[in-house]
Amino acid sequence: MYDMNDSVDAASSTPALTYPLGAAPGQGEAVEVAPGVLWLRMRLPMALNHINLWALEDGAGWTLVDTGMQTEETVAAWQAVLEGPLAGRPVKRVICTHMHPDHIGMAGWLTRRFDCPLWISRLEYLTCRTLVADTGREAPPDAIRFYRGAGWDSAALERYKARFGGFGKMVYALPDSYRRITAGDEVLIGDRAWRAVVGRGHSPEHVCLYCPQLGVLISGDQVLPRITPNVSVFPTEPDADPLTDWLESLAAIALAVPGEVLVLPSHNDPFHGLHARIQQLIDGHERALLRLTEALREPKTASEVFELLFRRRVDGEVLAMATGESIAHLNCLLRRGLISRETDATGVLWYRRV
Ligand SMILES: [Zn+2]
């Protein structure tokens, strides 16, 4: 649901990318990465242990881009930043690139504190409201059917039931209304226009912000330099094909944003080499799809292709994410007409090359 994909996909080295900035800001610090653009970093309680956030000068105040996960530590980090490098100007607006808890987790806390609006795309806002509403519910039969169909054993299904509904615990009460951002919008921040460039596949309507005047792209999780973002199918839409969305939107971003921009990603460090990185992400998935097609000469379940796709063992913590990602690749091959799918008497789905 949120990004831990670095632990699934061993990041490859990327000689075409360069990292022009120095060390990342520490807790309570900010680094100016372009005129009026401040880099903040906050910790995350998981394998991917940090997120980058951005504060943009906006007249007499600030526009914040992304907010960190709801934890006591993030509250303390925001207090330090608001009394430190951001002191003296109020937050006028909070923009969230997408609805994953490390991005939207503190949006409600910040918008209430400053009585300011949340700007976000419609699908991200509504999807987040849906996921938050699952908190406290029992895992639905649809989800159990989905993971049983992927080949999970009963121990894995029991662990899933015990953990279900955790999303809302990582998100402070959302604002009850929002201002919609749509692909192509020009968002005026201070005296600079930032164009909304939408990506799909990692999340439903992920907003990147491109400022031609500064030559800067805030890429969110859509383009990360050292991590392959998670692209998953979830039980709410078992036949979804997010990988096709992902590949198409990456190609569209390469056309919409010039290669020489400074990319400000949500994880890892700011970098140059946008087009090289996009090509590498696309090529990595296409190679995985080829390996998968080859391997499916023999019928297999979604759980039987983890090692082939991720080149590592998958267990416990990352099982649901790896399963979602396997099914994303399988559904993409189904859509391309390269494989077929059959359900056996026990409800398990088997895929094979046609
Ligand atoms: Zn994300």
The pLDDT tens digits of the residues spanning 199-240 come to: 999 999 999 999 999 999 999 999 999 999 999 999 999 999
Round to whole Å and give the CA distance between 235 and 173. 24
Round to whole Å and give the CA distance between 60 and 36. 12
Which residues sit with Cβ closer than 5 angstroms to ligand 1, an ion? 3, 100, 221
- What would the pLDDT profile of 153-176 be if each residue is shown by its tens digit? 999 999 999 989 889 999 999 999
Distance 345 CA to ligand 1 centre (A): 36
pLDDT above 70 coverage of the chain, percent: 96
Predicted local confidence at residue 279, as pLDDT: 97
Predicted local confidence at residue 6, as pLDDT: 40
* DSSP element (H, E) containing 326: helix 319-335
Round to whole Å and give the CA distance between 141 and 265. 37
Distance 344 CA to ligand 1 centre (A): 34
pLDDT bin (cut points 50, 70, 90) of residue 7 is: very low
Distance 224 CA to ligand 1 centre (A): 10
Distance 231 CA to ligand 1 centre (A): 9
Distance 346 CA to ligand 1 centre (A): 34
Secondary structure class of 217 (helix, strand, coil): strand
What average pLDDT score do residues 276-305 get? 97
Distance 220 CA to ligand 1 centre (A): 8
Sign of CA dihedral 321, 26, 55, 277: negative
Rg of the chain over all Cα atoms, to the nearest angstrom: 20
340: β partners: 352
Distance 219 CA to ligand 1 centre (A): 11
Candidate from 123-132, 223-232, 242-251, 317-326 with smallest mean pLDDT:
317-326
Round to whole Å and give the CA distance between 187 and 2. 26
Round to whole Å and give the CA distance between 101 and 223. 18
For residue 93, give the nearest of 70, 76, 109, 116 by alpha carbon. 116
- What would the pLDDT profile of 46-84 be if each residue is shown by its tens digit? 889 999 999 999 999 999 999 999 999 999 999 999 999
Distance 103 CA to ligand 1 centre (A): 7
For residue 281, give the nearest of 333, 326, 221 by alpha carbon. 221
Q: How far is CA 296 from the centre of its chain?
A: 29
For residue 264, give the nearest of 42, 110, 39 by alpha carbon. 39
Amino acid 145 reads: R
Predicted local confidence at residue 277, as pLDDT: 98
| Residue 10 pLDDT greater than 70, yes or no | no
Distance 83 CA to ligand 1 centre (A): 28
